[in-house]
Amino acid sequence: MTTESLCVLTPITMPVNFELSHIPIALFLSVTAGIVFPITYLINMYLKEESQRKIIFILLIICCVSCLCIINNPLFTVSLWRFIVFYTLLFVSCNILESVDSALLARIFPSNLNLGFCNSGFTIILTTTGGKSIGSFLITIIGWFLELEVVYDCLISFYLIAYLTLCLLVYWNYSELRVKAIARILQKKEIEQK
């Protein structure tokens, strides 16, 4: 949802806010998209030692801080370099969160729901597509009613609230999530051994 909004709104708002032409913006978006794979690969190497839930929590905090730092406010305006750094952090973190969450969902998906087309792969596709459609819908609705300069800040504020809520939920339910996930993994292994 966030990546969809970032990719659509950045070419529209960067010329207005930073007076850039479309060529540097296209290069910036290409480089940002290009560094997602190497960083994801490095994190996957790190995941062999650390739990995925800890990575999710860290990435959610990075998303919150990045959202907070690219919102314009009266005390300090967002400069081009600050926007580039925190936009890149937010974009990469969102993409990695999507892949880590998908892998975790596939691992703990209940085996009694794997009937016909309703399986873990279908659920992951439905979830990611649903997020993208919600992101596109938010862009359309907010862009319809607000001026161009405020659209980006409104969407990023919405995502900041969403990421903060997710951080709090993961923090409060961390041990319960771990116990449920381990129980499901063990249950799948027992079924496979039979």
Looking at the structure, give the CATH architecture of the domain made up of residues 2-193.
Up-down Bundle (1.20)
| Beta pairing partners, 118 | 115
pLDDT, position 193: 66
Q: What is the pLDDT of residue 116?
A: 67
pLDDT tens-place string over residues 47-75: 665 567 778 888 889 999 999 888 887 77
The pLDDT of residue 30 is: 92
Q: Which residues of the chain fall short of a pLDDT of 50?
A: none
Longest pairwise C-alpha distance within the chain: 64
Quick one: pLDDT at residue 192? 67
**Chain-centre distance for alpha carbon 38:** 17
User: Would you say 157 and 71 are in contact if contact means Cβ atoms under 8 Å apart?
Assistant: yes
**pLDDT at residue 168, as a whole number:** 81
Contact 87, 102 (CB under 8 A): no
The domain locations on the chain are: 2-193
Is 104 exposed, middle or buried (CB count within 10 Å of its CB: 0-12, 13-18, 19+)?
middle
| pLDDT at residue 23 in the model | 92
Q: Identify the DSSP state of 115.
A: B
pLDDT per position as a tens digit, 144-160: 766 656 677 777 888 88
